[in-house]
A and B are shown apart, each in its own frame.
Chain A
């Protein structure tokens, strides 16, 4: 099979998975927030509200597409398109797993490997600020303008600690290719401590991981840094004047950016697809054990249903989990799926963290937000970089 066809197939798979994740990330967020606040969340459309994303898409597609009279029409139309296009591009250089063999074809679990992959992602995601600024400016609305200005200032301020945190991780990886960065974190100290960046000697990158995550929250305009769309002050910030699918585009872009951010964090700091402990100690059985326990819990609650419909829905979930767990035990599939499982587990945990923080923390005040970026986060990132540089120079 030639390289071109292979890339097309992989692009199709990645697009399908990415769009499903985008849709269900929103469902998961609403459901988790609801449970944090002791509510039920979406529960009407389909079992446990699982068809809610579909219903939302239909609603947004069929809404009236308002074009306010006072806007700059060209820029108003371009902004949401830019937002979503720029948010989707970075995923094309993200590797999800090592080289695998399917039906006799060797391929990497990655769409295309740039030797400057990380730089590419940084470049594309910083262009993303244009969509926000254009949206706010073109809307000719005071709330939108304020929101977009805040967002631009915030995104450029937090981009610095983010880039410096990345640079200190790169001091040890010594490459910009995301695949090689992940591979530089393979192996274990003393046979069981993973060589992930956050644990790697001579300078564990815990501080830069924390800086990266905090800056990542700010870059994606998430709580506690969601000043650009602070409802209580600015209605909806830069997308106040948007409706229908244009409005949805900004939301899709936000979630796509979050996914990219968690993927980079996983690749640079959490060792990508490398498991937490070596396969010699049974880490390749973790996926099966997780799915089997999930299956057992679902079956138990299905047999002791809290609501009548649980009697049918939960055993179905149990069977699905059982099948998923068994798939990991098939030798041919296990080798492909296990790295993907670890990658998904780490990114999934970070995605959960994004939602958890939203359910927990209040919003910053704007002066606090800017002060935090420049006088706390950036110096910490710089100090970490200097210390890492000196330690790596001395010990390596």
Chain B
């Protein structure tokens, strides 16, 4: 019962309740006091008054995908970095050098992606 994670779960539930309350209140208000009056124009896609052409669920720029891939690599790296930083005081010189080499390898990856033009938004 004294585990901090137990309280985290409780506080998460509290946060969920706090998030739901205003939404539920607005829903109840709309249900009882403001009857829904939908109309074809009112419920249409908002495009500054012009009639919308086609769906928005279409293909989009592949650059977003490249950024996602590069992000994934470096995000995994930061996952390694945080425990490394925390345990830094008790690490041997060998472990420190190994980590620095790992970092430099990733920097090399960044430089490669940079040279390749992945990081330039076209």
Contact = CB atoms under 8 A, between A and B. Distances in A.
Contacts of A370: 67, 119, 121
Contacts of B93: 393
A170 B56 contact: no
A371 interface: yes
Given A62-B29, A244-B26, A375-B114, A85 B81 contact: no
Interface of B: 1-2, 4-5, 7-8, 10-12, 14-16, 18-20, 22-23, 25-27, 29-30, 33-34, 36-38, 40, 42-48, 52, 55-57, 60-61, 64, 67-68, 70-71, 74-75, 78, 81-82, 84-89, 93, 96, 99-100, 103, 107, 110, 114, 119-122
By secondary structure, the B interface counts as helix
A215 interface: no
A382 to B, nearest CB: 6
Interface in A312-359: none
A141 B46 contact: yes
Interface string A135-165: 0010111111110010011001101100110
Nearest to A241: B46
29 contacts: A60-B26, A62-B33, A65-B36, A66-B43, A67-B38, A68-B46, A69-B44, A70-B43, A89-B12, A112-B11, A114-B4, A137-B57, A140-B55, A141-B52, A142-B45, A142-B56, A143-B46, A149-B64, A152-B64, A156-B67, A156-B75, A167-B82, A176-B82, A235-B46, A240-B46, A241-B46, A245-B26, A375-B114, A390-B100
Interface string A104-124: 000000011111001110000
Contact of B7 (A111, A153, A176): A111
A392 B110 contact: no
A77 B122 CA distance: 34
Contacts of A168: 85
A163 B78 contact: yes
Given A85-B19, A145-B56, A156-B71, A366 B121 contact: yes
Contacts of A163: 75, 78, 81-82
Given A61-B22, A85-B15, A114-B4, A371 B82 contact: no
A170 B15 contact: no
B56 A371 contact: no
Interface residues of A, number: 84
A103 to B, nearest CB: 21
Contacts of B99: 389
Contacts of A396: 89
A59 B55 CA distance: 32
B44 to A, nearest CB: 7
Nearest to A126: B75
A61 B82 contact: no
A15 interface: yes
Nearest to A152: B64
B88 A171 contact: yes
B25 A245 contact: yes
B103 A64 contact: no
Contact of B78 (A164, A174, A176): A164
Contacts of B75: 156, 159-160, 163
Nearest to A8: B10
B85 A170 contact: yes
B75 to A, nearest CB: 7
Given A61-B25, A176-B86, A245-B23, A11 B11 contact: yes
Nearest to A136: B56
B29 A61 contact: yes
B15 A89 contact: yes
A385 interface: yes
Interface in A280-315: none
A244 B30 contact: yes
Given A166-B82, A174-B88, A367-B121, 9 more contacts: A19-B18, A85-B16, A120-B8, A145-B57, A163-B78, A176-B82, A241-B46, A244-B30, A382-B103
Contact of B30 (A64, A70, A366): A64
B100 to A, nearest CB: 7
Contacts of B70: 374
A67 B30 CA distance: 12
Contacts of B68: 153, 156
